[in-house]
Amino acid sequence: MTSLIDIAARVREARGLAHKTDIAAAVADLGLGDSAVPVGDDCAAIPDGDGWLLFAIEGFLNDFVEADPRFAGYCGLMVNLSDIAAMGGRPLAVVDAIWAKSGEAADPVLAGLREASQVYGVPIVGGHTNMRTERGQLAVAILGRAKRLITSFDARDGDVLVAAIDLRGGFRGAGLNWDAASGAPPARLRGDLEILPELAEAGLVAAGKDISMAGLIGTAMMLLESSGCGGRIEVDAVPCRADIDLAKMLLAFPSFGFVLSVAPEKVGAVLARFAARDIACAAIGTVDASHKMRLWRDGEEIEVWDFSRPFIGCAAKGMEVVA
């Protein structure tokens, strides 16, 4: 069993976590702190009538696009759908931007995008194409709509951290991509994503994020920082199959995975919604006012991050940070 010290070290050194820290510089350079639309959520939430338009974009690592182009294309749509769901929304449409050395090189990426569009029933309505460039790249943007929001800013001291992960899959190759979507029935995949807007509209969840390339702990860190809170995760409570290394699962980028901040009296109802669809879900920790992220196991506790040092730089207003 990997020690808690080693788990904390692996989290701090993870490539996905390093990429997320880059966000802080971009937020500062763009002067986004006083934006009319709060920055730090999985999507920009723009008030629109009796709800919100949700607008997001995902860019993909060049080495991922090169090594697994069809799956990269599929992920182009799939991970954007997770962003929309994480905000309590439903998707409307996507656009893509693809760069490739040739049409032949672009074919598998486009095939993956097309497959995901058909599987999830979300149309691709346009984009940008360049098939005369030196290296392949991919970015995909999405538009959605929510009646009631789940945000990154509404975790509260005393909430319970809940993790929901579809464990009906496996790691793709030697990397950290956990794929529970390939080959799964389309109706199941669509129905699973519907859980999140249903939770929002039922008033059961107001804060959460989808688990990103930063892994479960890194995603929880983004949520806590944006809400101006701290928290503690009990690592052995995280959903994980017996045949999978827990330390690796904590760093995984799952095709379906969410960290939610839930009022204690609503936890049972939230767990039941996921269990009804055979998705692993558990209470894994608590939110507090410490402004620190800690890991806990068998009476041992280790600090992973102190939010007085910016992580993604989207701390709630009024929280003192050290640049």
38 burial type by CB count under 10 A (0-12 exposed, 13-18 middle, 19+ buried) = middle
Mean pLDDT, residues 82-106 taken together? 98
185 inside domain: yes
User: What is the pLDDT at residue 148?
Assistant: 98
What does the DSSP assignment read for 97-141? EEE-SSHHHHHHHHHHHHHHHHHHT--EEEEEEE-SSSS-EEEEE
DSSP helix/strand/coil, 1: coil
Name the strand (E) or helix (H) holding 91.
strand 89-99
If we measure between CA atoms, which residue out of 210, 275, 216 comes closest to residue 249? 216
Residue 84 is which amino acid? Answer: I
Report which residue type is found at 51. G
pLDDT confidence band for 320 (50 / 70 / 90): very low
Closest CA to 2 of 253, 285, 236, 163: 236
- The 10s digit of each residue's pLDDT in 281-309 is 999 999 999 999 999 999 999 999 998 88
Side-chain-side CA neighbours of residue 279 (13 Å): 28
pLDDT at position 31 is 67
Q: How large a percentage of the chain has pLDDT more than 90?
A: 81
According to the model, what pLDDT value does residue 231 have?
Answer: 98
| pLDDT class of 235 with cuts at 50, 70, 90 | very high
Least-confidence region, from 117-121, 124-128, 267-271, 311-315: 311-315
Q: Which CATH number belongs to the domain containing residue 103 in this structure?
A: 3.30.1330.10
Count of domains observed in the chain: 2
Q: Is residue 245 part of a domain?
A: yes
**Residue 129 falls inside a structural domain:** yes
pLDDT digits (tens, 9 = 90+) for 72-81: 999 999 999 9
Mean pLDDT over 76-94 rounds to 98
158 and 108 fall within a common domain:
no
pLDDT of amino acid 154? 96
Alpha-carbon distance of 20 to 309, in angstroms, equals: 14
**Any idea which of 38-47, 160-169, 195-204, 244-253 has the lowest mean pLDDT?**
38-47
Is residue 319 in some structural domain? no
Q: Is residue 312 part of a domain?
A: no
The three-state secondary structure class of 87 is coil
108 within domain boundaries: yes
Q: Is the pLDDT of residue 100 over 50?
A: yes
Has residue 311 been placed in a domain? no
CATH code at position 235: 3.90.650.10
The mean pLDDT of 99-128, rounded to a whole number, is: 97
Mean pLDDT for 95-103 is 97
Residue 270 pLDDT > 60, yes or no?
yes
pLDDT in tens, 157-210: 999 999 999 999 999 988 899 999 999 999 999 999 999 999 999 999 999 999
Query: Among the three residues 128, 146, 164, which one is the final residue of a domain in this structure?
Result: 146
pLDDT for res 17 = 74
| Per-residue confidence (pLDDT) for residue 322, from 0 to 100 | 36
25 & 159 share domain: yes
Give 323's pLDDT tier (boundaries 50, 70, 90): very low
**For the whole model, what pTM was predicted?**
0.92
In a domain, 276, yes or no: yes
pLDDT bucket at 152, cuts 50 / 70 / 90:
very high
pLDDT digits (tens, 9 = 90+) for 12-27: 888 777 777 777 677 7
Range of the domain at 92: 42-146
Q: Round to whole Å and give the CA distance between 55 and 210.
A: 15
Question: What is the distance in angstroms between the CA of the first residue and the CA of the last residue of the chain?
Answer: 37
Strands 124-130 and 89-99: parallel
